[in-house]
Amino acid sequence: MSDQVTIYHNPRCGKSRDTLKLIEDRGLAPTVVEYLKHPPSAAELTRILGLLGKRPVEIVRRKEAAEAGIDPAALDDTALIAALVANPIAIERPIVVKGGKAVLGRPPENVLTIL
């Protein structure tokens, strides 16, 4: 497993910026994926969910999903992953991956568990 740190980042989000700063303040140079510009594929999002130990419904931003017309309760996991890939704004942020682990940076201090 790689020790590279990757952050799925939205630079307009304060929590995402705080999480990136927390990582950098520890002397790490993460790979920054602006997931709104470069959304993960369904396979990549499925992999990330596995690392998080979460189902797709657990990483949905409710307001953004509603605005995109996504009803998580009406979709199975495969359909919800497809909807999130098509509407990445509805994916909770930031997500930090290191090696075989991933964590949501809400609050930012959560990432300390994998750094």
DSSP string, 42-64: HHHHHHHHHHHT--GGGGB-HHH
Strands 5-9 and 31-34: parallel
Rounded distance between C-alpha atoms, residue 62 and residue 70, angstroms: 9
Question: Residue 101 in 3-state DSSP?
Answer: strand
Structure tokens at 97: 């991956």
Catalytic status, residue 13:
yes
Rounded distance between C-alpha atoms, residue 26 and residue 98, angstroms: 14
Active-site entry in 7, 12, 13, 112: 13
Q: Which residues are catalytic?
A: 13
